[in-house]
Amino acid sequence: MGEQLLERLRSKSVQHIFGQQGKASDQPLMSEWEAGGVKFAAAEGRLEGVHEEAMRRLLDCIVPTGSNSEPILHEGGVYLGCWLESTGTINAELLSRFIPSVSETTYLAFAAHQREDGLFPYKITGNGPSYRQIQLVTPLARSVWNHYALHGRDKAFLKTMYDAMSRYDDWLAAHRNTRGTGCVEAFSTFDTGHDLSPRFWHVPDTPHLGDAALCQPDSPILPFLAPDLTANVYCQRQYLAVIAKELGLSSEQWQRKAEASLASLFEYCFDEADHFFYDRDRQNELVRVQSDVLLRVMACEVGDRRFFDTMLRRYLLNTKKFFAKFPFTSMAMDDPRFDPFSSYNSWGGPSNFLSIIRAPHAFEKHQRYVELTWVMYPLVSAMSNMTRFAQALSPWTGVEGYTETYSPAILSVLDYVERLCGILPTPNETLWFTGLLPYAMDHGEEPAGGGTAYSRKVGGLSFELLNTREECVIYLNGQEHMRFPFGIRIVTDRAGRLSRIIGMSVRTIKGVVHYDGAELVLEIKGNEQLRYTEGRLEKELDIGIVYPAYG
C-alpha cells in the first residue's frame, strides 16, 4: 500500500486539482501553491477529496478588493470582505504556509487603510475600509512576526507593520481605557465578534453612534473590561517588543506596557475561585458567563504551563464545559444559556471554526501536543464529511452549520491535515513530520484509511512523508531519508537534519529510528521530547499528560 500511495501522491498535478482558473488573479496563486509542493493523498475515505476541494474553495476567498489590484484574503460565505479579528490575523497566519504572498498583501492592506488617528479598520470590503468597531481577537503582531520569520525576514515589511501597529496601540490606549484600569474596554458585542453570545445580552451590537471611540452613555453595564481584548493587547505588546528588537529599536517600553496589561487582566478580569476570565461591567460586577473568552485568552499566551493545565482539566478538556464530541463549544455546556444550534451566526454554543483554528497555538505554546490530538481526531472526522465549508459545526453531530465557502473552515482543513499527518514548517526554522493518521471517530467511517502521504517543498528541497499504522518514512528529493515508528513527531531543521522527537500518543512508543546510517533505539512517552545530539537521543522534556475530565 505504501509504495502505491506514494506513487499516487507524486503523480498528482496541482494544476489538475485546481482545474480551470475562475478569475484572472487565480493563476499566479495556483503557481505559488505549486511552488510550495503541498499535496495530500489518503489510502481511502473522503478526506483527500475534501482537502482538494478546500484548495479550490480557497481561491474563491482570495479576491482583488476595492482599488487594490493585488488580491487579499476574504472571510468568505456571507462575509464579503476581510476582517481584522480573523481574516487579517489568524486566517492569514495559516494561509502564510500555503500562499504567503496573499498573507503579506492582506496584512499590508490594514496598514494602508489605517486612519490618520491610528485606528485600523475592523474590515476592508469592496466599498472600502470600515472603522465602526475594533473587533479584535488574534494579535496582529504575532501573525506578522510569524510570517516574517517564515518567509525570508523582509525588514521593510516588518517596519511598515511595526509603525502601523505602534500607532494603533496608541489609539487603543487613548480611547478604550475610559475607566483608567489599564484593561481594554468593549463598547459593544461586535468589538469582540461574539455575535449572539449571552456574554453580551443587553449590550448593543455596535458602539455608540457607529463611532469606535464612543460608548453608549446610558447603558447601566457598559463599558466592559474585556479579558479577550486585554489579552490581545498584552500579547500584541509582547510581539511588538520582539519586533522592535529585531529592527534595532528599544523593546523596553513594549515590555513595560505588556506587563501592565497582564497585571490589569488578572486584577480586574480573573476570578481565582472559578479559575476563569470574565468581563467586569460598569457596576464592577463580573459578567459570569463562561464562554470562548477562555480559549481566546489562552491563545494570547497568558499564563505558564501549570496555569494552562488547570484550564485544561477544569474547562477545555472537560465534557461538562467545552470539550463536546466535536469541540470547542463557544459557551460552557452546563450554562442554561447554552444554545448548540449552528444554523445561524452564533457564539452562544456551536463549535465555530474560528475557535478551531485558534486552538492549536494555545496547546502548542505549552507543549500539550498529545492533548491537541484529542481535539483534532473528531474534528478531522467531521471535516471528512464536509461539502460546504460552513462557519460552525454542531457540537453534538459534527454536521455543518451556517453559510459556506468560509475561509476559516477551509484553512482549518488544510491546517489540521498538515498538523496531524503532514509536513509543517514553523517560524522557528524547523519542520514537523507528524507520524499519525486520522481516526474513525464517527460511525466507524475511515477519513483516510490506513495510510496517508504528504509532500512539501522547503528551501529548494522536496520532502515527502508516508504514514501507515506500522511505520512512517520521510523522503528527501525522492530518496528515503528517515524511517520511524508510528505515533511520534520528527522535528528537523529546514534541511531535514534531525533535532528532536516528540511523543504524540497517550501510550509509550517503542521502536527504532533509522537515520543517517544509524539505528536509534526509541522509547518515548506522550509529550516527552528527546533531543538528538552527537548521534544519540537524550531526554529533554517530560511533562506528562493532562487527561479529560467529566464535571
Pairwise CA distance, residues 253 & 265, whole Å: 18
**Domain limits, the chain:** 1-66+303-550, 67-300
User: Is 269 in a helix, a strand, or coil?
Assistant: helix
Distance separating alpha carbons of residues 81 and 65, to the nearest angstrom:
8
Using CB atoms within 10 Å of the CB of residue 464, give its burial: 0 to 12 exposed, 13 to 18 middle, 19+ buried: buried
The sign of the dihedral angle between the CA atoms of 198, 202, 206, 207 is: negative
Predicted TM-score (pTM) of the model is 0.97
- Burial pattern 399-413, b for ≥16 Cβ within 10 A else e, equals ebbbbbbbbbbbbbb
> What is the structure's pLDDT at 377?
98
* Angle at alpha carbon of residue 225, lines to 222 and 230, rounded to 5°: 140
Q: What number does CATH give the domain 67-300? A: 1.50.10.10
Q: Which residues of 510-547 are buried (b: 16+ CB within 10 A; e: fewer)?
A: ebebbbeeeebebebbbbbbbebeeeebeeeeebebbe
User: What pLDDT is attached to residue 446?
Assistant: 96
> In the chain, which stretches have pLDDT less than 70?
21
For residue 280, CA distances in Å to 34, 301, 404 come to 49, 21, 35
pLDDT score recorded for residue 297: 98
- The string of DSSP codes covering 42-67 is ESSSSHHHHHHHHHHHHHHTEEEETT
Question: How many Cα atoms occupy the beta-carbon half-sphere of 428 within 13 Å?
Answer: 8
Which pLDDT value is given to residue 2? 84
